[in-house]
Amino acid sequence: MTAFCCLAFLSGCSGDSNNNTNVSSSSISVSSSSKSTISVPASSSHSLGSSSSSYALSESPYVGQWYAPAYGYVLSVTTEGTAFTVKTYSVTTDYCLLQKRVSDVSHIKLEQEYVYSNSGKEILLKKNGDYPPGVDYEKVDKLPLACTENLQILKADSGYSFDAKKDFEIFWQTFNDLYINFELRGVNWNAVYEDAIKSVDTIKDETELFEFLSELTVPLGDGHALLIRAPLSLDLDKSITAALENDETPSFNASTQLTLYEKLLNEYLQMSGHDGESTSVQTAAAENYIVENFDNIVGTIFDYADQHSVVKVRAAGQIAWFKTSNNIGYLFVGSMSDYTEGKSTLISDIASDVAIAEATINEALKDLEGTDGLIVDVRFNDGGQDQVALNFVRHFMGQSQVVYSKFAGRGAWATPVQDVMLDPHKENIYLKPTAVLTSGDTGSAAELFTIAMASLSQVTIIGEPTAGAFSDILVKRLTSDILFGVSNETYLDVQGNNYEKIGIPPKIPVPFATLQERVEGYDAGIESAINWIEEKR
C-alpha cells in the first residue's frame, strides 16, 4: 500500500469483477463492539444467483441506502432498466459529496463486489479480494439529510464556483470525523482549525488551496494523509489512474520515520556544509550523491552472494534471491506491487501482481529450501498490495493462526476488532529460522507483512522501526479537483500492540545504511541476521 500506487479506493462498485479496488479494509458494524475472528479465504453468506431475469430487480435486497460510518461512506443502490446503479456518497457532519457513480451494473457484477446478508440486520459486505475483512455497510431508511438537502456541486458540474473555505471545512471535518488518532500524532485538530480559518479566505485558487491543505497535514507525519490535485470525474478509478500515471500530477505526503533518501540527503548537506537555498547545480550534486550511495548499498548487499550461487532477479526487478557462503538464503522484496515490466501497476493489475508474486515466491523458496535459514529484506519496501504481502506470509506458516487484528474508526463509530487468521500455503513452506530486515522505509503493505511475520515462532525482526503507516488510504475528494487520503484504520499485533506512527520495533535493533557501513563495505543488518541464524542452527 504505497501512498500512490496502492490507494485503497473505497469508493463504490466496480464494473469489472477483477477490478477489486479495496486493498484492505475493516468490517463495519454500526452497533456491535464485539471481537471476532475472520479466516482467509472468506466465504459468501448470500447469493442471488446468476440470472437477473428470475424476478424484478426492484425486489433485490441490494436496493436501498447503506451506511458505513467509520468510513464516512453511504451507498445508494437503485435500478435503471435491467441493471443497477451504485452511487457512493462521501459524508461528513455537515457535508455530502457524490464521490462515485457506476451504472449498468448487472446482478452478477454486484454480487462479485458485495455480499448481502441478513442476520437481524441487513448488511452489504464490500469484498476485499481473497483477504478479509472488507467494509460492512448497514442498511438505513434514507440518505443523510446533508445528501438530500445540501449535496455539494462539484467542479465538473454546471453552476460550480471555487470556494476555498467550503473545501477547507470539508477537509477538516473529514479528518475530524474519521482520522484514527490525533493524540498519537500529537496534533490538536481543533487548534489547527482555529489557526487555519483565520487565513483561508485569502486563498484565491486551487493551487493555493492544495498548498494550504498540504501544510495542515505536515504535523501528522502520516504518509497516508496524502493529497493529489488532478481532474476528477464520477468515474473516480479512471481519474485516479490517469493522475498517478502522469508524472506532472501535484501530490504531497509526509513520512513518519526518516527514510533512506532523507538520511542520505541530510548526510550530504552536513558534509558539504550547505545551509540555505539550493542552486540547480547543488541540487544535482545532492541527487548524484544519493544515487551513488544507494547503488553502493545495494551493491554491498549482493556481495554477500556465494560465488557459486546464482543471483536470480524476478518481478520486474522487485524480487531477488541468492545463497550466502555459509548456506543462508537471502530474499530481497523491494515492493509488494509493480511486478510487470514496463506497465503501471494500478487498480486493474492487482490480479497480475498476485499471480507474479506467487510464481516468484514458489521459485525462490524451492531454490532456497536446502538453506539453514533465510533473510527476508524489506528495508527498501514502502508497500504495495496487501494481498501480495499476506500471500507471502502463508509460505512461512506451519499451521493456521491469527496474524494480526484490525478495526476502523474511533469512539462510537469504531468497528469491532477483527482477528485475521491465515492458513498455510499448500506448497513451498519455509519453517527454518527466518530474519526479516526492516527500516524506516518499510511501510504500509510491507508493515502488514512484517507484523504478520512477527507472529510466527521461527521469525525475528532485525533493523530499524518500520514507517508506522498501517492504515489503508481512505480516499476522499473536495468539490474542487483535490483528492486526499485519511488513515481511518488501526492494526494490532497478536499481543494487541498498536504501532501506528512509532513503527514495528525490531527484536534486534540495527541501524540501516550508515556511513561507516558504506566506507567499510559491509551491511550490519545482514551480518546480524547471519549471526542470529547461526546461533539457531
Torsion over CA: 400, 417, 131, 445 (sign):
negative
Please determine, for residue 348, whether its predicted confidence score (pLDDT) is greater than 80.
Answer: no
pLDDT in tens, 408-444: 999 888 999 999 999 999 999 999 999 999 999 999 9
For residue 59, count other CB atoms closer than 10 A to its CB. Answer: 8
- In terms of C-beta density within 10 A (0-12 exposed, 13-18 middle, 19 or more buried), how is residue 295 classed? exposed
Going edge to edge, which strands form the sheet with 401-408?
36-39, 418-422, 401-408, 489-492
Q: What counts of helices (H) and strands (E) characterise the chain? A: 14, 22
Quick one: pLDDT band at residue 54, thresholds 50, 70, 90?
very low
User: What cell was used for 208?
Assistant: 493555493
pLDDT in tens, 438-453: 999 999 999 999 999 9
Calpha distance 145→140 (Å, rounded): 12
Alpha carbon of 340 to those of 120, 243, 442: distances in Å? 45, 19, 21
Calpha distance 113→94 (Å, rounded): 29
Q: What pLDDT, on the 0 to 100 scale, is given for residue 342?
A: 63
Residue partners of 98: CB distance under 8 A and separation at least 6: 87, 88, 89, 151, 152, 154, 234
Calpha distance 290→296 (Å, rounded): 10
pLDDT in tens, 393-413: 999 999 999 999 999 999 888
HSE, side-chain direction, 13 A CA sphere, residue 249: 22
Taking residues 480-506, what's their average pLDDT?
96
Taking residues 472-481, what's their average pLDDT?
95
Calpha distance 383→247 (Å, rounded): 19
Please determine, for residue 45, whether its predicted confidence score (pLDDT) is greater than 60.
Answer: no
Please determine, for residue 41, whether its predicted confidence score (pLDDT) is greater than 50.
Answer: no
Alpha carbon of 317 to those of 269, 291, 312: distances in Å? 30, 17, 10
- For the chain, give the percent of residues with pLDDT over 70: 87
- The residue written with cell numbers 547471519 in the block is 530
Taking residues 87-100, what's their average pLDDT?
96
Quick one: pLDDT band at residue 343, thresholds 50, 70, 90?
low
Q: What pLDDT, on the 0 to 100 scale, is given for residue 19?
A: 35
Give which of 166, 164, 216 is closest to 189, Cα–Cα. Answer: 216
Please determine, for residue 28, whether its predicted confidence score (pLDDT) is greater than 90.
Answer: no
pLDDT in tens, 239-279: 998 998 888 999 999 887 889 999 999 999 999 887 767 78
User: What cell was used for 55?
Assistant: 424476478
Calpha distance 436→526 (Å, rounded): 10
Q: Is the peptide bond before 41 cis (omega within 30 degrees of 0)?
A: yes
Please determine, for residue 88, whether its predicted confidence score (pLDDT) is greater than 70.
Answer: yes
Q: What is the C-alpha R_g of the chain?
A: 24
Report yes or no: 15 and 100 within 8 Å, Cβ to Cβ: no
Q: What pLDDT, on the 0 to 100 scale, is given for residue 70?
A: 95
Please determine, for residue 220, whether its predicted confidence score (pLDDT) is greater than 60.
Answer: yes
H/E element, 485: strand 482-487
Calpha distance 470→223 (Å, rounded): 9
Calpha distance 489→190 (Å, rounded): 21
Q: What pLDDT, on the 0 to 100 scale, is given for residue 144?
A: 93
Helix axis angle, 164-178 to 189-196, nearest 10°:
180
Q: What pLDDT, on the 0 to 100 scale, is given for residue 46?
A: 41
- The residue written with cell numbers 526518516 in the block is 258
The one-letter code for the residue type at 200 is V
Please determine, for residue 304, whether its predicted confidence score (pLDDT) is greater than 60.
Answer: yes
Please determine, for residue 281, whether its predicted confidence score (pLDDT) is greater than 70.
Answer: yes
Q: What pLDDT, on the 0 to 100 scale, is given for residue 341?
A: 77
What is the SS3 assignment for 54? coil
DSSP 286: H
Q: What pLDDT, on the 0 to 100 scale, is given for residue 34?
A: 44
Instruction: Please state, rounded to an integer, the average pLDDT across all residues of the chain.
Output: 88
Of the ranges 60-69, 124-133, 357-366, which one carries the lowest mean pLDDT score? 124-133
Q: What pLDDT, on the 0 to 100 scale, is given for residue 23?
A: 30
Calpha distance 311→321 (Å, rounded): 6
Helix ranges, 137-185 (H): 145-149, 164-178, 182-185
What is the SS3 assignment for 487? strand
Q: What pLDDT, on the 0 to 100 scale, is given for residue 138?
A: 96
- For the chain, give the percent of residues with pLDDT over 90: 76
Q: What pLDDT, on the 0 to 100 scale, is given for residue 309?
A: 92
Angle at Cα 470 formed by Cα 342 and Cα 185, nearest 5°?
125
Calpha distance 397→433 (Å, rounded): 12
Of the ranges 7-21, 224-238, 322-336, which one carries the lowest mean pLDDT score? 7-21
pTM assigned to the model? 0.86
Please determine, for residue 118, whether its predicted confidence score (pLDDT) is greater than 50.
Answer: yes
Quick one: pLDDT band at residue 132, thresholds 50, 70, 90?
low
Quick one: pLDDT band at residue 6, thresholds 50, 70, 90?
very low
Give which of 71, 48, 58 is closest to 117, Cα–Cα. Answer: 48
Residue length of the chain? 537
Residue partners of 118: CB distance under 8 A and separation at least 6: 46, 61
Residue partners of 258: CB distance under 8 A and separation at least 6: 440
Quick one: pLDDT band at residue 363, thresholds 50, 70, 90?
very high
Quick one: pLDDT band at residue 64, thresholds 50, 70, 90?
very high
Quick one: pLDDT band at residue 35, thresholds 50, 70, 90?
low
H/E element, 517: helix 515-520
H/E element, 319: strand 319-323
Calpha distance 165→170 (Å, rounded): 9
Q: What pLDDT, on the 0 to 100 scale, is given for residue 49?
A: 42
Helix axis angle, 350-367 to 386-394, nearest 10°:
30
Please determine, for residue 14, whether its predicted confidence score (pLDDT) is greater than 80.
Answer: no
